[in-house]
């Protein structure tokens, strides 16, 4: 990969993570844990954008990543997302990494790690388990401080 290709990719990462942060802010405003996700295809078209809604939907599976996958599946009429990239503000959990692997997402880009639930390098590293039939590539740390601060502010507000 050339320096120019890396710069374009890094620019894309920032652009799409900014959109994921907007989704996370929607969650924050809705009194949901502020996690946002955006799924794009290989041509950089947005397939879906979503945020956590576990509380409002009374659904423990209504994480931003799962909601983004459900929306994208309906849009493209498929459950496989080969050659796609998922941008998410917080490292995916075990459930979400399972869905990511099952759906064949090629690349996951996340903002801040989740040492308590993370399954993309913090607590577990599902992407490195060769016993599974798919291993997505992982990029972490895009807008890490902003993603982390949103979580810190949310839980600080909850404690007050």
Give the residue numbers marked as catalytic.
65
Spatial neighbors of 60 by CB under 8 A, at least 6 apart, are 54
Taking the C-alpha atoms of residue 143 and residue 155, their distance in angstroms, rounded to an integer, is: 19
Structure token digits, residue 82: 């080969």
Q: Which residues pair with 63 in a beta bridge?
A: none
Question: Which residue blocks in the chain are alpha helix, DSSP H?
Answer: 3-29, 64-76, 94-103, 144-159
């Amino acid at each position: 990969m050339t320096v120019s290709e890396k710069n374009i990719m890094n620019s894309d990462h920032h652009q799409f993570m900014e959109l994921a942060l907007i989704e996370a802010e929607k969650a924050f405003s809705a009194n949901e844990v502020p996690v946002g996700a955006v799924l794009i295809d290989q041509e950089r078209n947005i397939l879906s954008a979503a945020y956590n809604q576990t509380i409002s939907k009374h659904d423990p599976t209504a994480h931003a990543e799962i909601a983004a996958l459900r929306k994208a599946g309906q849009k493209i009429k498929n459950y496989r997302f080969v050659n796609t990239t998922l941008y998410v503000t917080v490292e995916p959990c075990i459930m979400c990494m399972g869905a990511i692997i099952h759906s064949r997402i090629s690349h996951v880009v996340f903002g801040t790690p989740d040492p308590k639930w993370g399954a993309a390098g913090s607590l577990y590293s599902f992407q490195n388990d060769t016993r599974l039939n798919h291993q997505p590539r992982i990029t972490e740390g895009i807008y890490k401080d902003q993603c982390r601060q949103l979580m810190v502010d949310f839980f600080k507000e909850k404690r007050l």
